[in-house]
């Protein structure tokens, strides 16, 4: 990444370094082992979900709160892909009031969140109906922490089997409609966060969960070529609604310097800086045009130095003098 940012010769030529695309072709990062962490409040069904994904009774489950004290790490294969799965202890809302094993469990859960590549946030469907809101404060903190750390996020609404029956027939439709909208409102930094509705106790939704996790992970590992990004840049800049054409920032070129999560650099001419509105527009356009919803995207900006030398469009005072002398000598020769 530092080589890309410090390569003056490549900046002067107007093209990003070619080794960025070469490295992308050497290793397919989306095929590497996947680190998945199951996070959530106590007693939302995290351990039951782990047993469902593994299709075996790997951990102890029950109606009591706090059965899982230590994080359980296991490995399994899904469609030829290695997945490292971590079941964490319940993330308590007020950790400052907890002491002993509970406090240590929360600290361990936070460490596993930092190590994970994709975070599966588990919600309780029955609690959503009772509280009439999708996420509590503790769950919002988990989701935002995952986004800030650059992790992929998948929301799993568990215990949908408890909403069966004539009384709850309309509750299922309301939950499935309201939860994605409310999550988008609470976490506006990321658009298109996938939401999966499951019943881990009945074993329903296993395939849907793994499909969304792998899809999020592959987006998280996305690498886009510089030529493709610059073609895209010319297209979207032409449709941007600028109020003042003179204030339009001139982006020299746009390149990706890192994946996991996708990180881009916009090189601008001179000391022109992109505003927050411009960065939000670029981020939104990237997600829509390249199907990168549900993952964090980072865009940095750097001023590209102006061209110096014969290729410069602007002539220096000395070059102007030489041009004038050449013009006068040519004129004298013609007169003779």
- Over 80: is that where the pLDDT of 203 sits? yes
| pLDDT (tens digit per residue) in 261-292 | 999 999 988 777 888 888 888 998 999 999 99
| pLDDT over 80 at 224, yes or no | yes
Quick one: pLDDT band at residue 57, thresholds 50, 70, 90? confident
What value does the mean pLDDT take over residues 216-234? 94
Who contacts 158 (Cβ-Cβ below 8 Å, separation ≥6)? 44, 45, 48, 49, 122, 123, 124, 125, 198, 199, 200
User: pTM for this structure?
Assistant: 0.77
Task: Check whether 3 has a pLDDT greater than 90.
Answer: no
Question: Distance between CA atoms of 260 and 267, rounded to whole angstroms?
Answer: 21
Domain ranges of the chain: 2-24+223-304, 33-220
* Contact by Cβ (8 Å): 89, 50: no
- Cis status, amide bond into 261, omega within 30 of 0: yes
How far apart (Å, rounded) are the C-alpha atoms in residues 331 and 269?
38
The domain 33-220 is placed in CATH, from the list 3.30.420.10, 3.40.50.1100, 3.40.50.300, 3.10.20.740, at 3.40.50.300
Q: Averaged over 118-135, what is the pLDDT?
A: 91
Model confidence band, residue 334 (pLDDT cutoffs 50, 70, 90) = very low
Which CATH number fits the domain 2-24+223-304, given the four candidates 3.40.190.10, 1.10.287.3510, 3.30.300.20, 3.30.1330.10?
Answer: 3.30.300.20
């Amino acid at each position: 990444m530092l080589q890309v940012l410090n390569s003056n010769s490549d900046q002067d030529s107007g093209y990003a370094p070619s080794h960025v695309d070469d490295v992308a072709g050497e290793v397919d990062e989306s095929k590497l082992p996947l680190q998945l962490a199951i996070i959530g409040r106590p007693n939302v069904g995290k351990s039951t979900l782990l047993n469902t994904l593994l299709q075996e009774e790997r951990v102890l489950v029950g109606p009591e709160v706090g059965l899982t004290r230590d994080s359980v790490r296991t490995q399994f294969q899904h469609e030829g892909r290695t997945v490292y799965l971590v079941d964490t202890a319940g993330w308590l809302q007020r950790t400052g009031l907890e002491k002993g094993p509970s406090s240590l469990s929360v600290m361990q859960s936070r460490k596993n969140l930092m190590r994970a590549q994709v975070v599966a946030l588990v919600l309780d469907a029955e609690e959503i109906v009772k509280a009439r809101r999708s996420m509590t404060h503790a769950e919002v903190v988990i989701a935002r922490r995952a986004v800030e750390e650059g992790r992929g996020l998948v929301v799993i609404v568990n215990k949908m089997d408890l909403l069966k029956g004539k009384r709850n027939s309309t509750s299922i439709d309301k939950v499935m409609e309201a939860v994605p909208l409310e999550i988008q409102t609470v976490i506006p930094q990321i658009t298109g966060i996938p939401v999966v509705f499951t019943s881990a106790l009945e074993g329903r939704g296993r395939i849907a969960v793994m499909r969304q996790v792998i899809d999020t992970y592959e987006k998280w590992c996305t690498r886009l070529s510089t030529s493709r990004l610059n073609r895209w840049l010319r297209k979207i800049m032409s449709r941007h609604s600028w109020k003042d054409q003179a204030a339009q920032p001139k982006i020299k070129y746009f390149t990706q310097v890192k994946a996991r999560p996708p990180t881009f650099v916009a090189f601008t001419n001179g000391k022109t800086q992109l505003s927050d509105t411009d960065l939000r527009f670029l981020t939104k356009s990237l997600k829509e045009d390249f199907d990168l919803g549900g993952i964090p995207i980072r865009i940095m900006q750097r001023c590209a130095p102006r061209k110096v030398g014969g290729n410069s469009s602007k002539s220096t005072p000395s070059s102007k003098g030489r041009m004038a002398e050449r013009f006068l000598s040519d004129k004298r020769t013609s007169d003779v």
